[in-house]
Structure 1
Amino acid sequence: MKEYNFGKYLSSYFLSYIPSRMDYSENTVKSYRDAFTIFLRYCTKVLNLKPEKMKITDINKDFIEDFLNWLVDKKGYSIKTRNQRLAALQSFFRFLQIETPENLERCNSILSIKAKKVQNTGQMTYLSINAIRKLLATPNSKTKEGKRDLAILTLLYDTGARVQEIIDLNVCDLRLSSPATVKLLGKGQKVRVIPINPQTVNIIKSYMDNYQLLDEENLKTPVFFNKQKRRLSRAGIGYILKKHFEIARINNSNHFPVKISPHALRHSKAMHLLEANVNLIYIRDFLGHVSVSTTEIYAKANPEIKRKAIEAANNNVLPEETLTTNDKEVLLDWLKEFI
């Protein structure tokens, strides 16, 4: 019986199949790679299966469903992320349908696994300006690691960048002289240039000086990297945010939600721009949205914006208050009976 080495086909998938697919963006490829990194870690640490010895015939529908349940139940991944990991795995098994027709039934059964419905709660996680201040006060800016963490969190918030946009930053993408800007590569390879404020510039300069990144020979160097000098991953930035979030939340739980993600800082920036009466068109361009209708979700989700709109409408319609002092006292006495 022919052996179908899993590693051999996985290598072929990433090295030959994916590069030939012009519709796969760089971020999609990274997402798929991350999915298989987690999948192989699950096989190794949970199932004690060595990836180099795995065969295609070792994997079936139940195997994949157990992995997906582990992501949600044990690792605490959201349903949305679970669905993204499933999409990556199913893309690989579509490739296997072509490469190994003998495994067509096995592949079809895995492809039949449905994405779970993501509940739309209508709520968006974002932090108040006061909470942002408390979060950014957490890293110890006297240490090398603290300077890096503060630079990451500050740049995420100040630019409203997606986490992948921060990961992809090279030193040459930063202009720290006036007017200071950062060049972000967004979805669909679209570039936008975002202004950064003087406080953020000082924080980034302090960090880059500490890591000797201000020299010209480092222009192509990643702005943020790990101990192995490799770009930080989504998980790495998520860990940094979570670490400082939990510290900031200890004595300020009323100011913070229960959980946080890097995207919440992007939401926070958008909300604060809205509250400052910045035009939606500018916020759309700032965030790199294709359509202003995407940006409008912030206006719909922000209760303060709704309250101001309702008050403004009421001021134009409702008659002015005409209660006398005596009327107000009678009204207060009446209300006290029910409070």
Structure 2
Amino acid sequence: MKKVNTLMMLVQGFFQNYLVVDRGLSQNTVMAYRDTLKLFFAFECSRQKKSITKLVLDDVNADAILLFLNQLESKRNNSIVTRNLRLAALKTFSLFLTTKDVERSGEYQRIMALPLKKAPHKVIDYLEVSEIKSIIDGFNFENRNDQRDQVLLNLLYNTGARVQEICDLTVNSITFGRLPVVTLVGKGNKTRMVPIWQDTANLLMSYLRKNQILDQPEVSIFLKTL
């Protein structure tokens, strides 16, 4: 079997079996790994002036990955955090390859030994309660998109959830009643239930009714456009 076929077959196995079946990673994590490999392969194709079908296992090496990481910062203006996330994905891919391509296990060990780049620690800015209230109250609740954005910001402020966690919410993620709660699914598909204020619950109820999705449990709460 040619190496070019071996690389592509291993990439397929990495996504279809290793990440999903063996590791049980979330869809968002798998998508992030997919984007990393797409960027790395595109970089290698451009650098070596060859098509992706000509890439082989030898092209997955520590020197190439270092060049790739450096151009993420210099050419794509990615942050150090993004650089480190890309490296983490490539390390996971290399760990997978060590069990499939034993002859090159030494090179994969070199990749896994690449250090994360230290990022400066910044003091996190924050808004005062009055400033947050001013932003939230600035929406026109009669406008459907404004209503959506107001409810979204209320939930972010109320729950402290990550943006992706809020975007992933469906109607059945909300439990109304005397003690309303929202069920969030975070990294690694870890689920947690977070209480929400009655005012937030009332806004949500009004929003769901206005958009006629209250009785559609699997529908995403926050649609891109309304």
Q: TM-score range by the shorter chain?
A: 0.7 to 0.9
Q: What residue identity is the alignment partner of 1:3?
A: K
Work out the CA distance in 2 between the residues paired with 1:70 and 1:207: 44
Q: What residue identity is the alignment partner of 2:61?
A: N
Alignment length (residue pairs): 221
Aligned match of 2:127:
127
Partner of 1:99, secondary structure, is: coil
Change (3 A) 1:204 1:188: same
Work out the CA distance in 2 between the residues paired with 1:81 and 1:111: 17
**What is the correspondence of 1:37-56 to structure 2 with a 5 Å cutoff?**
37-41=35-39, 43-44=41-42, 54-56=55-57
Work out the CA distance in 2 between the residues paired with 1:39 and 1:195: 39
Work out the CA distance in 2 between the residues paired with 1:46 and 1:130: 50
Residues 141-189 of structure 1 show CA distances to partners (whole Å, capped at 9, x for unaligned) of: 4444333333222211111123343244331120234432212345676
Superposed CA RMSD in Å reads: 3.4
Partner of 2:32, secondary structure, is: helix
Residues 264-304 of structure 1 show CA distances to partners (whole Å, capped at 9, x for unaligned) of: xxxxxxxxxxxxxxxxxxxxxxxxxxxxxxxxxxxxxxxxx
| TM-score relative to the length of structure 2 | 0.76
Work out the CA distance in 2 between the residues paired with 1:76 and 1:149: 29
Work out whether residues 4 and 53 of structure 2, in 8 Å CA contact, stay in contact via their aligned partners in 1.
Answer: no
**What is the correspondence of 1:288-307 to structure 2 with a 5 Å cutoff?**
none
Work out the CA distance in 1 between the residues paired with 2:105 and 2:82: 27
Work out the CA distance in 2 between the residues paired with 1:140 and 1:192: 31
Change (3 A) 1:11 1:207: farther
Change (3 A) 1:211 1:65: farther
Report deviation, 1:12. Answer: 0.4
Aligned match of 1:78:
79
Work out the CA distance in 2 between the residues paired with 1:220 and 1:152: 18
| TM-score relative to the length of structure 1 | 0.54
Work out whether residues 71 and 77 of structure 1, in 8 Å CA contact, stay in contact via their aligned partners in 2.
Answer: yes
Partner of 1:69, secondary structure, is: helix
Q: What residue identity is the alignment partner of 1:179?
A: L
Aligned match of 1:136:
136
Aligned match of 1:223:
221
Report deviation, 1:75. Answer: 4.3
Partner of 2:70, secondary structure, is: helix
Aligned match of 2:16:
15
Change (3 A) 1:212 1:75: farther
Work out the CA distance in 2 between the residues paired with 1:154 and 1:66: 43
Aligned match of 2:112:
111
Change (3 A) 1:92 1:178: same
> Structure 2: 5+ residue runs without aligned partners?
none
Residues 206-232 of structure 1 show CA distances to partners (whole Å, capped at 9, x for unaligned) of: 4434543212xx2133333547xxxxx
**What is the correspondence of 1:145-156 to structure 2 with a 5 Å cutoff?**
145-156=145-156
Q: What residue identity is the alignment partner of 1:128?
A: E
Change (3 A) 1:10 1:191: same
Change (3 A) 1:157 1:67: farther
Partner of 2:3, secondary structure, is: coil
Work out whether residues 182 and 194 of structure 2, in 8 Å CA contact, stay in contact via their aligned partners in 1.
Answer: yes
Work out whether residues 180 and 196 of structure 1, in 8 Å CA contact, stay in contact via their aligned partners in 2.
Answer: yes
Work out the CA distance in 2 between the residues paired with 1:188 and 1:45: 29
Work out the CA distance in 2 between the residues paired with 1:188 and 1:96: 22
Aligned match of 2:170:
170
Partner of 1:125, secondary structure, is: coil
Report deviation, 1:192. Answer: 3.7
Aligned match of 2:94:
93
Change (3 A) 1:60 1:42: closer
Work out the CA distance in 2 between the residues paired with 1:191 and 1:185: 4
Q: Which entry has the higher C-alpha Rg, 1 or 2?
A: 1
Aligned match of 1:268:
none
Partner of 2:98, secondary structure, is: helix
Report deviation, 1:38. Answer: 4.4
Aligned match of 1:36:
34
